Structure 1
């Protein structure tokens, strides 16, 4: 992706020409790409690909996924941070901010004479203690707690849309999950441009996109029904066509009589297929592969809706939703193998043709139909609602949420600061540094809200020392009680942030040197010795001119 938002030169170590950036400088530069996106006041990044593809987002994980990172330390950190999103669905930016602070603090400690191993051991003690203290700040949450579940979803949206849209998307995500018993595998997301956000809705069933998938509805001279009520659904997991010779061979005909016989045979095969479908009582036929054109036309005349080349995931979802028993041959269709749907209806969404199957008698399934004015808005809407769905499900899985706005991080920082006084040895300084680093989260929230981070942190520490452990940085930048404001996040997000940040920093601090090895010099190659160049000597990495990575066009 293009470097539309390149970090300031001073943060990348450009002032030291000819020297490779330190790990702390690499982390600072990497964090600089997403720092301004953090929190409800975070700004968007426009990512432009070499092919002209444009993505506008403030999601840290999405940004890191699209950056071409070359610096080895930055690459290690980027890969570690991206796992945060994969594990718990959120927290990538906060994790990178914490990594940045921890590496910066570690550099200061090492400069003061502390060994990197001592710093790692102190960080390990702090991370373990912080994770043990998390339950003390948790609030319980369960499926029936509508208000808290909506708060979790809305927290994921806040800052990415206006309040009205955030409320709507949070409500849709929770309602959609509730409709499928909070089994997110049965809740589909489909986003289409050409509409307004308020047109987004929840469908009780499966939506089949006949435009973007390979699916096709008969579109010949004969049009089948557009709406079927109380439909009987047949599922064919095979091709419905007249068998033709395949391979290098050819079919030889000795005269007009044999040609007529061949044609009659084909007509007979098609007629048998039509009789088999009609005789089963099916109102709609979903075929996983292609359907012969003549058969489609005859079935359409008979009032049967035919859908061919149904995408595999849609085919399986339809079978489960309608309780249909798919067959491998059209001759095996029977009334007992048909599924049932309350309605099968063709629907145009924007410029796309879709098929909506609702009211199935099988497993409950739902689809969130999301709208956006442009393709970019529709895509971002889908990403946002996906975050809502993931975080709500995660909160229920762990049965606990934490106050957001940096409240939980500040509370842990205060705990660790007090606890470090009882830690013996040189590790105590690392524990205290870990505690101070946690305040990077509320500090960045205050900065992005346009306030003085120092003043905000002093006021926040004072409130926490007075026992207000759920007070954090509100959307306006002023201090607010986060539970009352409805700013909640799954406890797993901060828990995983602590783990990921420690593991990433530990991996970097344990590295003594960075060596570059040619592919031909790798173990097992024919050239050079193990880990070295052709003469067996490893090569030290070249200077990068101060930038920890290159972002190419």
Structure 2
């Protein structure tokens, strides 16, 4: 990977943002080729030898090691964006890199870093207004919801797979009213994408929960019709006296007495479950081995170590109330479902709970030929779900770089009405956001200069929905079915500006030590006429040394107050 792993100092003097621009450039360069429908994949190999093949920016950054502090700040911002939006991570990385690169040049020309940051904020406000004007509100049943999901993953697989991803994701969301909490994903190797399916119910992976379901009870059943379900939000084990103490065993008879007592306690616990006619006991933590065996013998299916999201979903879907211990069970706490079935998938066993009376739930059972393919399939569908949900709730804008070109023109026009030096930052912002259509054109094999000029001309003619299509040509993105939720470019710009502003306001990296602090890198310069302190020393003389208040660099963290 071309990502630097030891960037902690300025790579060149005289530039306030150099220490931030270099890691940002490196991250942007590493992800640039992954953008768009023609984006290429990255193969990331960590120190343990694990291989990850993906073109998702957040996944790439999560897999590589970045030692540069500013690089880690940028990575964290991008990953936070990915968790909230699900798409646009590479776009955000490219925007951060371009904004910091442009800021570096402005500061070198004499503009103060805070003026650049303030200009970026003003530009971002105008950009958000432009995106709102460009957006089109749609409903959950609108065909453009599916188009947005398809656009988000175009290029990450073939055309048929892209359509399959969109169908699975949007179909699942529509069946649960676009409530993401009622959709769960499970990926298994050993099959193709065509073998993936929607399960109208809750799927529990018994390999993850370490549940033994061989024989499905003593009668060898593979399904339970209308079972009664109890949920225990804790572990099921023999009670332990909280008081400190010990049991002295003097002879074999005493040991037999202790064992008889434990068996009696265990029988009472099992009876507290069976007397309530429980068919399935779902436990969020572990079940004692002996108790699990006795439960199976008594005809109760034990399900332990259930994933928290699945446990909560079962409680809502079955109309059950979780208790902390089996002794707390009563009829009001129990629930039921239409059926519980056992099936084999990918060499393992799963349980499916269907015909749910409480609330509907969808489980997407995804297949891939290898564990790596299955994992990537799960990441792609997760992105589809997030994008479709945002599109249905917040509206859509044309994709293919059209929003960024519209933003560029709007901010550039706004800069003409600004009569102070921050207008330079607005112009720089307007140029920086065109990195998205430029990169789309380059990755499509087109000349980025010609493509950008043609795109800008179309926008000046009032065609605000024009973008760069998969072939590198300029066309109407809506007509081509290339759409994205307005939340994606809006959040990309917000995250990029916030991150760039944070980096611009950092003038030094400090590495704390046991005895205090030491400078981990040289000072950032470019403050114009300097910064004079009360003792007559001047901070920012350009000689690469740290100055201030007569103190040496031995540990007094004076810079923390500036």
Q: Residue 76 in 1 paired to residue 96 in 2?
A: no
Give unpaired runs (5+ residues) of structure 2.
519-547
Q: Could you tell me how far 1:78 is from its partner in structure 2?
A: 3.0
State which of 113, 124, 141 in structure 2 corresponds to 1:116: 113
Q: Could you tell me how far 1:439 is from its partner in structure 2?
A: 0.9
- Structure 2 Cα separation of the partners of residues 345 and 431 of structure 1: 61
Q: Residue 533 in 1 paired to residue 553 in 2?
A: yes
Q: State the partner residue of 2:157.
A: 161
Cα–Cα, structure 1 residues 515 and 236, in superposed 2: closer, same or farther, change >3 Å?
Answer: closer
State which of 448, 452, 469 in structure 2 corresponds to 1:453: 448
- Structure 2 Cα separation of the partners of residues 260 and 113 of structure 1: 87
Q: State the partner residue of 1:344.
A: 340
- Structure 1 Cα separation of the partners of residues 362 and 503 of structure 2: 45
Cα–Cα, structure 1 residues 490 and 208, in superposed 2: closer, same or farther, change >3 Å?
Answer: same
Q: Residue 231 in 1 paired to residue 227 in 2?
A: yes
Q: State the partner residue of 1:466.
A: 461
Cα–Cα, structure 1 residues 224 and 128, in superposed 2: closer, same or farther, change >3 Å?
Answer: same
Q: Residue 514 in 1 paired to residue 503 in 2?
A: no
Q: State the partner residue of 1:544.
A: none
Secondary structure of the structure 1 residue equivalent to 2:344 = strand
TM-score (norm 1): 0.84
Q: Could you tell me how far 1:390 is from its partner in structure 2?
A: 1.6
Alignment of 1:295-306 (within 5 A): 296-297=292-293, 299-301=295-297, 303-306=299-302
Q: Residue 280 in 1 paired to residue 276 in 2?
A: yes
- 1:195, 1:350 within 8 Å by CA — same for their partners in 2? yes
- 1:224, 1:305 within 8 Å by CA — same for their partners in 2? no
Secondary structure of the structure 2 residue equivalent to 1:396 = helix
Q: Could you tell me how far 1:345 is from its partner in structure 2?
A: 0.7
Worse overlay, 440-449 or 174-183: 174-183
Secondary structure of the structure 2 residue equivalent to 1:422 = coil
Q: Could you tell me how far 1:434 is from its partner in structure 2?
A: 1.4
Secondary structure of the structure 2 residue equivalent to 1:33 = helix
Cα–Cα, structure 1 residues 516 and 226, in superposed 2: closer, same or farther, change >3 Å?
Answer: same
Q: Could you tell me how far 1:444 is from its partner in structure 2?
A: 0.3
Secondary structure of the structure 2 residue equivalent to 1:348 = strand
- Structure 1 Cα separation of the partners of residues 333 and 227 of structure 2: 13
Give unpaired runs (5+ residues) of structure 1.
540-553
Q: Could you tell me how far 1:318 is from its partner in structure 2?
A: 1.7
CA RMSD after TM alignment: 3.3
Q: State the partner residue of 2:425.
A: 430
Worse overlay, 219-228 or 409-418: 219-228
Secondary structure of the structure 2 residue equivalent to 1:34 = helix
Q: Residue 419 in 1 paired to residue 439 in 2?
A: no
- Structure 2 Cα separation of the partners of residues 99 and 92 of structure 1: 11
Q: Could you tell me how far 1:294 is from its partner in structure 2?
A: 5.9
Q: Residue 132 in 1 paired to residue 148 in 2?
A: no
User: What's the CA shift string for 1:299-345, capped at 9, x where partnerless?
Assistant: 54554333344444433322222112344554555555431111101
- 2:217, 2:301 within 8 Å by CA — same for their partners in 1? no
Secondary structure of the structure 1 residue equivalent to 2:414 = helix
State which of 396, 403, 427 in structure 2 corresponds to 1:401: 396
User: What's the CA shift string for 1:495-528, capped at 9, x where partnerless?
Assistant: 22222222222233334x435444134379xxxx
Cα–Cα, structure 1 residues 207 and 425, in superposed 2: closer, same or farther, change >3 Å?
Answer: same
Q: Could you tell me how far 1:285 is from its partner in structure 2?
A: 2.7
- 1:214, 1:311 within 8 Å by CA — same for their partners in 2? no
- 2:18, 2:104 within 8 Å by CA — same for their partners in 1? no
- 1:296, 1:306 within 8 Å by CA — same for their partners in 2? yes
- Structure 1 Cα separation of the partners of residues 17 and 127 of structure 2: 34
Cα–Cα, structure 1 residues 292 and 460, in superposed 2: closer, same or farther, change >3 Å?
Answer: closer
Cα–Cα, structure 1 residues 259 and 124, in superposed 2: closer, same or farther, change >3 Å?
Answer: closer
- Structure 1 Cα separation of the partners of residues 468 and 3 of structure 2: 27
User: What's the CA shift string for 1:63-85, capped at 9, x where partnerless?
Assistant: 22233223344333333333322
- 1:245, 1:251 within 8 Å by CA — same for their partners in 2? no
TM-score (norm 2): 0.83
State which of 156, 178, 183 in structure 2 corresponds to 1:182: 178
- 1:218, 1:306 within 8 Å by CA — same for their partners in 2? no
- Structure 1 Cα separation of the partners of residues 318 and 237 of structure 2: 25
Q: Could you tell me how far 1:260 is from its partner in structure 2?
A: 7.0
Q: Could you tell me how far 1:348 is from its partner in structure 2?
A: 1.1
- Structure 2 Cα separation of the partners of residues 330 and 508 of structure 1: 54
Secondary structure of the structure 2 residue equivalent to 1:370 = strand
Cα–Cα, structure 1 residues 536 and 6, in superposed 2: closer, same or farther, change >3 Å?
Answer: closer
Secondary structure of the structure 2 residue equivalent to 1:188 = strand
- 2:209, 2:304 within 8 Å by CA — same for their partners in 1? no
- 2:11, 2:19 within 8 Å by CA — same for their partners in 1? no
State which of 32, 53, 58 in structure 2 corresponds to 1:35: 32
- Structure 2 Cα separation of the partners of residues 383 and 217 of structure 1: 29
Q: Could you tell me how far 1:115 is from its partner in structure 2?
A: 3.5
Q: Residue 107 in 1 paired to residue 68 in 2?
A: no
- Structure 2 Cα separation of the partners of residues 314 and 174 of structure 1: 21
Q: What count of residue pairs does the alignment treat as equivalent?
A: 522
